[in-house]
A and B are shown apart, each in its own frame.
Chain A
């Protein structure tokens, strides 16, 4: 069955530190891959997406993600986290059926 997993429910990092959020999926073929961010009381905003081509994709707000077919992963990274990055992050995969992971809540320490 198709599924998407975000293994980390909650991550805390210090401001200025690097960040990696994990996403793994199980699909019959390589699906479309997305990362969204949701700030408290806000809707979901698209950070980046992967359809094909270069496996390292750049997004907004300094985020990037790398698609690794062999690991069925699409991890989100940022070299230096800002306090404003504190939010909930969702990985999404699929074709017509877009499925979301359970989310990873990011806390940024001053």
Chain B
């Protein structure tokens, strides 16, 4: 069966420090991969999605970036965190379009920028 792992689960970082959140999926090949941010009262914001290695689509022009170095690995990064980057970050995967594209979520990472 498929599983998704996301870490770290919680993170407290000072303003201006770098960020790296990592996500891996097991039990499937060539999944679509996603990064979402859930801020209080604002629902789930799509940050990045990827349909293949090295293919990243960005939805928000902020100081965040994403990379997909391997088929089932998705990394969210920042060179310098802002206070507004605080939130709950969710990695997700899906079987690509044509098979329904149901999204499955990881357990999330709480980021607090201080």
Contacts and interface: CB of A to CB of B under 8 A. Distances in A.
Given A90-B43, A102-B43, A96 B100 contact: no
A22 interface: no
Contacts of B42: 102
Contact of A32 (B46, B92, B100, B107): B100
A90 B104 CA distance: 14
B87 interface: no
A95 B101 contact: yes
B49 to A, nearest CB: 6
Interface in A23-63: 32, 34, 36, 43-44, 46, 49, 51
B97 A96 contact: yes
Given A43-B108, A44-B105, A100 B100 contact: no
A100 B49 contact: no
A101 B101 contact: no
Interface string B75-103: 00000000000000010101011001111
Nearest to A45: B105
Contact of B102 (A34, A95, A101): A34
Nearest to B44: A100
Interface in B35-78: 36, 41-46, 49, 51, 57, 59
Interface of A: 6, 9, 32, 34, 36, 43-44, 46, 49, 51, 90, 92, 94-103
9 contacts: A32-B97, A32-B100, A32-B101, A36-B103, A44-B44, A44-B105, A46-B103, A49-B102, A103-B43
Closest A-B pairs by Cβ, 10 of them? A102-B43, A100-B44, A103-B43, A44-B105, A95-B97, A98-B103, A32-B101, A43-B105, A99-B46, A96-B51
